């Protein structure tokens, strides 16, 4: 049994890519996309027909609708390969607008329904700002399930649990990056491996809290830098992994023991936490890493959405 097969014994494996031609090789349950991944795939020759078809059919529509239709086209192609769900991301420029986020999510889901896709197979990805979390609460009440992304802080996870969102995506690798860059020359890589990795520790804390208090929101670790981070989170509900790291797992037969145990977490003595808007904003502000990485992530996704629009304009 290779590491990928072993990991699937403990955790639902999700592919983090818009390159759906690679998916059959790894047989993931679900798949996630974001503007950066779709932009990367859309520029490859093997996907040029998707861009061309979208423009031929919908070139007369507004740019934001053209983008949404391209995202849904990629999503439908992905769903033809995997048995589970695909995550499709809302325009990051709406990250601080609850009403606009709700409306955009409703449109995306309507486009999927028009293609014959069940709402149970789609997760709408939304940045885990306060406004995004409130939008997700409304969408979940309508039966539109959400994946709250760009999640770096414990307060974001708690607020998502309160809102009843379907799934959260804490970003392991970007947390690791921040701490490593902050430490500079004093960073000791060996001392921050496995369970001592700050990104791994962040997900473990969320996992233990959710399981201790019976929070049903699914936890999907994301944004991995190396296989060691993935192995250290075996047992997490889901892990979304790039094709490159999936290939490394498939090529190794090293053991993958369960690292996170829900039953053990249920026995922990942890205090309950609750956030209203003011407490959430203060807690996020007090977490320099989360504040910086959330802002950086939103900026990057906004920039790649603009590039995707330019691609649709020029094609």
* Side-chain-facing half-sphere of 182: CA atoms under 13 Å: 11
If DSSP codes are grouped into helix, strand and coil, which group holds residue 145? Answer: coil
CA 12, 272, 264, 227 torsion: positive or negative? Answer: positive
* Side-chain-facing half-sphere of 49: CA atoms under 13 Å: 2
Q: Can you give the pLDDT at residue 175?
A: 98
Q: Give the domain ranges of the chain.
A: 3-314
Q: Can you give the pLDDT at residue 59?
A: 82
Q: Can you give the pLDDT at residue 309?
A: 95
Q: Can you give the pLDDT at residue 109?
A: 98
Alpha carbon distance 294, 307 (integer Å) = 20
Is the CB of residue 161 less than 8 Å from the CB of residue 210?
yes
Token pair of 112, please?
A: 């999927």
Q: Can you give the pLDDT at residue 315?
A: 59
Q: Which tens digits make up the pLDDT trace of 27-42? A: 999 999 999 999 999 9
31 DSSP β-pair partners: 15, 86
The low-confidence residues of the chain, meaning pLDDT below 50, are none
Pick the CATH number of 3-314 from 2.40.50.100, 3.20.20.70, 3.40.50.300, 3.30.565.10: 3.20.20.70
Q: Can you give the pLDDT at residue 314?
A: 72
Q: How many helices (H) and strands (E) does the chain have?
A: 15, 8
Q: Which tens digits make up the pLDDT trace of 69-123? A: 999 999 999 999 999 999 999 999 999 999 999 999 999 999 999 999 999 999 9
pTM of the model: 0.96
Is 125 catalytic? The answer is yes
Which of 125, 180, 211, 293 is an active site residue?
A: 125
């Amino acid at each position: 049994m290779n590491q990928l097969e072993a990991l699937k014994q403990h955790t639902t494996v999700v592919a983090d890519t818009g390159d759906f031609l690679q998916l059959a090789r790894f047989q993931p349950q679900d798949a996630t996309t974001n503007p950066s991944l779709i932009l990367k795939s859309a520029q490859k020759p093997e996907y040029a027909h998707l861009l061309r078809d979208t423009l031929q059919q919908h070139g007369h529509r507004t740019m934001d609708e053209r983008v949404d239709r391209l995202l849904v086209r990629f999503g439908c192609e992905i769903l033809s390969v995997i048995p589970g769900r695909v995550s499709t991301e809302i325009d990051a420029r709406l990250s601080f607008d609850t009403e606009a986020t709700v409306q955009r999510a409703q449109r995306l889901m309507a486009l999927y329904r028009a293609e014959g896709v069940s709402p149970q197979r789609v997760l709408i990805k939304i940045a885990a700002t306060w406004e995004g979390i409130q939008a997700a609460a409304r969408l979940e009440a309508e039966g539109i399930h959400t994946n709250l992304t760009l999640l770096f802080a414990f307060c974001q996870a708690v607020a998502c649990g309160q809102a009843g969102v379907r799934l959260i995506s804490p970003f392991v690798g970007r947390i690791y990056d921040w701490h490593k860059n902050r430490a500079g020359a004093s960073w000791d890589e060996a001392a921050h491996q496995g369970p001592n990795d700050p990104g791994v520790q962040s997900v473990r804390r969320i996992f233990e809290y959710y399981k201790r208090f019976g929070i049903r929101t699914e936890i999907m670790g994301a944004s991995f830098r190396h296989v060691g981070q993935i192995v250290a989170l075996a047992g997490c509900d889901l892990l979304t992994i790039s094709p490159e790291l999936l290939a490394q797992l498939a090529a190794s037969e090293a053991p993958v023991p369960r690292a996170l145990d829900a039953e053990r977490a249920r026995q922990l003595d942890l205090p309950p936490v609750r956030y209203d808007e003011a407490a959430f904003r203060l807690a996020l502000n007090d977490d320099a890493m989360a504040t910086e990485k959330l802002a950086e992530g939103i900026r990057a996704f906004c920039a790649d959405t603009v590039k995707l629009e330019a691609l649709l304009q020029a094609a």
